[in-house]
Each structure stands twice: as C-alpha cells, then as structure tokens.
Amino acid sequence: MSETPQTPQNAEKDPQDWTTGDEPVTGPQLSYLQTLAREAGREVPEGLTKASASELIDELQQQTGRGA
C-alpha cells in the first residue's frame, strides 16, 4: 500500500492560476502596494488585478527588503 504525497498546507499557488486572480485588486493589497511603492520610489499602476498586485507586492518586497 503506497501513501499519497500530501501538499504542504502553506504551499503557494502561482497568482496567475488563482480562480479570482483576474478580479480587481483588494483594498488591503492596494494600501500595502502604496506603502511599498512609496518606499521604493515607484508608482502603483492603475487597473491592477489581484494576481498582478500580488506579483508586484512580491517584487517590491524584494526591492525594499520587506516581507518574507
């Protein structure tokens, strides 16, 4: 009898694969993006989706040294 490998509970899914990824950016995402962008000297583009906002957050976290 073989065991089925289990996916870790904290496994991250690619934002482009999110079922809600094409929905508009959330308020908390936008607020955090504005903070990160200000620290990075960047502008937050208009018309972001949840997925694109998540990717930009990851990019700005690396640039500013914030986050995980």
Q: What is the pLDDT of residue 62?
A: 95
Domain total of the chain: 1
Average pLDDT over residues 17-46: 93
Structural domain for 30, as ranges:
23-64
Q: What is the pLDDT of residue 5?
A: 57
15 in a structural domain: no
pTM to 2 decimals? 0.74
Q: What is the pLDDT of residue 14?
A: 78
51 in a structural domain: yes
Task: Check whether 12 has a pLDDT greater than 90.
Answer: no
29 phi, psi to nearest 5 deg: -60, -45
Q: pLDDT tens digits, residue range 33-58?
A: 999 999 999 999 999 999 999 999 99
Question: In b/e form, how buried is each residue of 18-41, taking b as 16+ CB within 10 angstroms?
Answer: eeebeeebeeebeebbeebbeeee
16 in a structural domain: no
11 in a structural domain: no
Average pLDDT, the chain: 85
30 in a structural domain: yes
